[in-house]
Amino acid sequence: MNTDHSVTIYEALGGEEGVWRLVEAFYPKVQADPLLGPIFPEDITPVMEKQLLFLSQFFGGPPLYTERYGHPMMRARHLPFPVTLERANAWLACMKRALDETVSDPALREAVLERLKAPAYHFINQ
């Protein structure tokens, strides 16, 4: 990963197109996961679209999620779903595999995963 701190993760991923590639690689893994699949809707498209907006903003891109839905309040938005430590770890494992498929730079893959660990564990509610 470029060590120039003026480059955001969003930019390093390739902007919206790069984030979308990651989201597209990620959600089939989530749907196939025995811990995660059952808590996601069958029609995953709206979830993917929201994830694109959120991750774009979360990784330093434009505030797309906030513009459309208001403050992310992600912990509150995840409260209706049973998020356990096991599910948080499964979510991160799916993301790691998606990153391995879509991001060639190992340092960038690690930076993305590290950035996502805090919210993944913050959403635990059971």
pLDDT in tens, the chain (126 residues): 555 568 999 999 999 999 999 999 999 999 999 999 999 999 999 999 999 999 999 999 999 999 999 888 888 888 788 999 999 999 999 999 999 999 999 999 999 999 999 999 999 999
pLDDT at 73: 84
pLDDT at 89: 98
User: What is the reported pTM?
Assistant: 0.91
Q: Distances from the Cα of 83 to the Cαs of 21, 67, 73, in angstroms?
A: 25, 26, 15
pLDDT at 38: 96
pLDDT at 1: 52
Buried b (16+ CB within 10 A) or exposed e, 109-123: bebbbeebeebbeeb
pLDDT at 4: 54
Q: Which residues contact 33 (CB under 8 A, 6 or more apart)?
A: 90, 94
pLDDT at 6: 86
Closest Cα partner for 28 from 55, 51, 60, 9?
51
Q: Which residue's structure tokens are 């635990």? A: 124
CB 40 within 8 A of CB 30: yes
Looking at residue 38, what DSSP letter applies? G
pLDDT at 74: 80
Sign of the CA dihedral running 112, 24, 97, 36: positive
User: Check: CATH 1.10.490.10 for 9-122?
Assistant: yes
